[in-house]
Amino acid sequence: MTVIIRGRVWKYGDNINTDIISPGQFMSLPIEKQAEHAMSAIDPKFSKKVKPGDILVAGNNFGSGSSRETAQMVLKHLQVGAIVACSFARIFYRNSINVGLPVVEMEDTSVIKEGEELEIDLLAGRIINHTQTSEYKGTKLPEHLIEMVELGGLEPYLAKRLAGDNL
């Protein structure tokens, strides 16, 4: 089971809503085209800058707004490794797990700066900042949710479970 995610930080503030993450005017496009516009309202070059495994770090209430899954899907398409925030909108949090995108809550993300290198242990809830040589406490993901993320989300997880494979 993969429980370690390591990547470079992209830092954002409070109340980043789903319209910012995945602008509504592009929802009729295929997901790969929608992803080109991810975060464009506050970071127009985000989709060009972010690399596979990179980690989004934000403040409070990340993912508020609508319950559409395109917000999580564009971030997953861009291969964002995980999102760390002080708090998440509950629907966004669950939809992230459902599409296989790890999310971790951390009490105070202000200590993390853009461009730093983080390592997240999902099972232990440990966040290591390799740039500052610091360690922070985050929320732990239960093993079954880590397995769901590893398999790519709820649908493949249920398919495996219904096929009788041991989870």
Q: Dihedral through CA 20, CA 26, CA 29, CA 35, nearest 10?
A: -30
The β-bridge partners of 88 are 62
Q: Answer yes or no: are the C-beta atoms of 70 and 22 closer than 8 Å.
A: yes
State pLDDT tens for residues 77-130. Answer: 999 999 999 999 999 999 999 999 999 999 999 999 999 999 999 999 999 999
pTM strictly above 0.85: yes
Q: Is the dihedral of CA 33, 49, 54, 71 positive or negative?
A: negative
DSSP secondary structure letter of residue 44: T
